[in-house]
Structure 1
Amino acid sequence: MLVASIHKDHNNISKLLKLLTQKLTAIKSEKPVNYSLIRDAVLYLQEHAEKYHHPKEDLIYHFYIDKYKDAEAVARLDAEHDSLASLTAEFADTVDMILMDAVIPLDLFAEKLNRFVVSQREHLELEERDILPLIEKQLSTEDWAYLQSQWDDELSDPLFGDTVSDKFVELAAALKA
């Protein structure tokens, strides 16, 4: 079911945010950090969440907005997805600069990492706490069947799926540790 896959994606993204929070703690404690893992987590969010997960949510949100005209909170999520994509791209550039040995003060990087994690987490919590329960309660079985028929793009998750993509092997191992 479509909404079940969204909840599963949110759970997986939460695992990444937990890992990034651990990296933030290490940075603040001036302990060594594997920045490649941070890059891989951000890359996953750019490649999977922005190109697959958010469009799946947007399909549901747009349908809901069309059906229930007083859906301002749901309508705001569209703009939030765009701002999260911009924030992710900006943070990915910062991580790439560090990996290319650019000098970026640790406190500045920690601030950007914290802002990134907090923004992502707040977005997930809003969807899980407020938006998805509302939508699940109001949409009918027929609505969900229609939405499912509009989503024919069930891709294998490159990090949390049955087969881990080569580029995410190190990140998958770190998530299991």
Structure 2
Amino acid sequence: MHYLLEKLQKDHRNLEKILDLLTSQLDHFLAGRESDFDLKIELLEYMEAYADQGHHPLENVMFSAAKSRVADRADLMDRLIQQHQELAQLTRTFRNSLENIYQGGVMPRDELEVQGREFIALQRQHIDLEEQEAFPLLDEMLEEQDWAGIIDQSPSHADPVFDKPDKIRFQTLFDYLSRAGKQGASPVA
């Protein structure tokens, strides 16, 4: 498997950790238990800062480059690119809702739950579609010259939590992950 696909799979494992943590925080909030709004907002900021600005643009370059090689599955590549735009909009909408509540705004819990559950479910479905259908197809169909072109066009964007930590911007997230690590607990417990 090409190293770019391996990198994207690693990103997916990290994104799944973020989605697990967000699910846990959302469950706590909706059950009326203590929930950390700073953490939830930082989780969405991370999704915007990395998934929407680094991870998905790299995939878009790959999917666009692959369309001519996978003509019978070009619709899959187009669908994934379109999903990236939709997921970015869902991220912004959900983050804005969380920030509004944090700043004293009013929103019915069931409306927030629908936004949160939809966001998480669609992110997971998207990751599954890429892992199960797109990545194996890319690995099989793309050749070295294709990968060289993809590398030349690829955005350079480091993961601000898992690769090049930005401990100022994501302080609440780092504190949470650090506490969970010291307690030997899962970061989503």
What CA distance in whole angstroms lies between the structure 2 residues aligned with 1:108 and 1:22?
17
What pairs up with 1:96-135 in 2 under 5 angstroms?
96-135=99-138
Shift of 1:12: 1.1
**Structure 1: 5+ residue stretches without partners:** none
1:2 partner letter: L
Shift of 1:109: 1.4
Shift of 1:3: 1.8
Aligned to 1:27: 29
**What is the TM-score with the length of structure 1 in the denominator?**
0.91
Match of 1:93 among 90, 96, 107: 96
**What is the TM-score with the length of structure 2 in the denominator?**
0.86
Measured against aligned partners, the alpha-carbon deviations of 1:40-82 in whole angstroms (never above 9, x if no partner) come to: 0111111211111111000000000133322211211111111
Shift of 1:163: 3.0
**Structure 2: 5+ residue stretches without partners:** 181-189
Aligned to 2:15: 13
Measured against aligned partners, the alpha-carbon deviations of 1:106-147 in whole angstroms (never above 9, x if no partner) come to: 222122111111111111111111111111121123322332
What CA distance in whole angstroms lies between the structure 2 residues aligned with 1:68 and 1:131?
10
Shift of 1:83: 0.9
Match of 2:86 among 83, 88, 98: 83
Identical amino acids, percent of aligned pairs? 30
> How many pairs are equivalent?
176
Aligned to 1:163: 165
Local SS of the residue matching 1:167:
coil
What pairs up with 1:143-154 in 2 under 5 angstroms?
143-151=146-154, 153-154=155-156
Is structure 2 residue 5 aligned with structure 1 residue 3? yes
Measured against aligned partners, the alpha-carbon deviations of 1:74-112 in whole angstroms (never above 9, x if no partner) come to: 211111111111111111110110111112222221221
Shift of 1:169: 2.1
